[in-house]
Structures are given as C-alpha cells and as structure tokens.
Amino acid sequence: DSGVTQTPKHLITATGQRVTLRCSPRSGDLSVYWYQQSLDQGLQFLIQYYNGEERAKGNILERFSAQQFPDLHSELNLSSLELGDSALYFCASSVVAGEGQETQYFGPGTRLLVL
C-alpha cells in the first residue's frame, strides 16, 4: 500500500458526460501528479499540483481540468467524455527522499470506461 488513495476504483459512463476522479496524497506530501495510461499512448503525464498551485502541465486536454484543495487532496475533472478517454488514471504524490531524489508513489488508479 503506497498510502495514496484514489476513488472511485472503477467508473463507467457515457460519451458526453462529466466525471470527477479524486486523489488523496500520502500524509505530508505536497505534490500531486496525474497520469493517464492508455493502450495506444502508454503512461502520460497530465498535470501536477504543489501545495494547491498548478506546477506543470503535460498532455492534458482542454476538456480536462484539475485542482488541489487546502487539505491537499486533488480532483481531476473530465468533461465531454469521448470513447478515447477510456483509460487508467493514476494519481501520484511525491516525497523528497534525498538531495535530488524525489520519488513518486502511485495510487491504485481509477479505471474509466466511456461507452
């Protein structure tokens, strides 16, 4: 158990709908990263938040947005869903284990299926 929690574990929805994925980082971790894992694109970085502020953006679609709340949990919002958004969405939080060594620990993921 990494200490990172994600809910829900599975999500089935229809095209055009909107869903919210939730992530709680490890106790004390300030950074939250979101990744998408799909068969065709592999594992891709979407977005990072650090202590409530957006830190970096990756290949995140405009239909997707995220935020990190004062209690450090984060939500990833996916709207106008398309079939191609079906994927495993991971949240990771990071701890600095030593100089220059920031290790990301992943949650169990949310498996999204868009029908």
Partner 1 sequence: AQKITQTQPGMFVQEKEAVTLDCTYDTSDPSYGLFWYKQPSSGEMIFLIYQGSYDQQNATEGRYSLNFQKARKSANLVISASQLGDSAMYFCAMRASQGGSEKLVFGKGMKLTVNP
In the complex, the residues that contact partner 1 under the rule CB under 8 A are 2, 31, 33, 35, 42-45, 48, 50, 55-56, 58, 88, 90, 92, 94, 97, 100-109, 111
Least distance in angstroms from the C-beta of 80 to partner 1: 25
Taking the complex as a whole, the smallest distance from the CB of residue 108 to partner 1 amounts, in Å, to: 5
Of the pair 61, 79, the CB lying nearest partner 1 is at: 61
Minimum CB distance to partner 1, residue 66 (Å): 14
Task: Determine the Cα–Cα distance for residues 70 and 68; give it in Å rounded to an integer.
Answer: 7
Q: Which is nearer to partner 1, 4 or 81 (CB)?
A: 4
Helix or strand (DSSP H, E) at 59? none
Length of the chain as a residue count: 115
Task: Please say whether the beta carbons of 13 and 21 come within 8 A.
Answer: no
